[in-house]
Amino acid sequence: MRVTRPMLALTGVVAVLALAGCGSGGKHEAAVPETATGSLEHLAAEVKCEPDMQTDADTIRQAICRKGAQKYILATFSTDRGQREWLDQAKDYGGFYLVGRKWVAVGEERTVEALRGTLGGDMETGTDHSGHSAGGGGGEQTHSGHHDG
């Protein structure tokens, strides 16, 4: 809407640079590229990560990546259902999730937001069980086009 098609590729590059230096402003949403697809290795290459494989199974492949001093998890799934089940369980532990087609990146909010500038996807937030809020009910999803219904 705010970004013209010819500007989309350039905007994705600019978004990565802008997110690295700015706080949460909300304007970067217009600069999110089309959601990436592919293998764990392909996604890792897109974000310039050498994946440290932790799980290499038929249904899930999971690796640790580093972005400067920050660590994040990159996982790919063989099925949409497997991804959804993993997310439903993982989000109980809190955290920030970048969700694409059969892949998820998990890390600190600023790291995941920066990855979004390259990989696209939807930002989701896990459940906060810190106990400081009795009825906060906050933040299952910060931005997602998915709706169960």
pLDDT in tens, 16-38: 223 333 344 444 455 789 999 99
Average pLDDT score, the chain: 75
Select the more confidently predicted residue: 1 or 14: 1
Select the more confidently predicted residue: 131 or 9: 131
Answer yes or no: pTM beyond 0.85: no
Across the chain, which distance is largest between two alpha carbons, in Å? Answer: 48
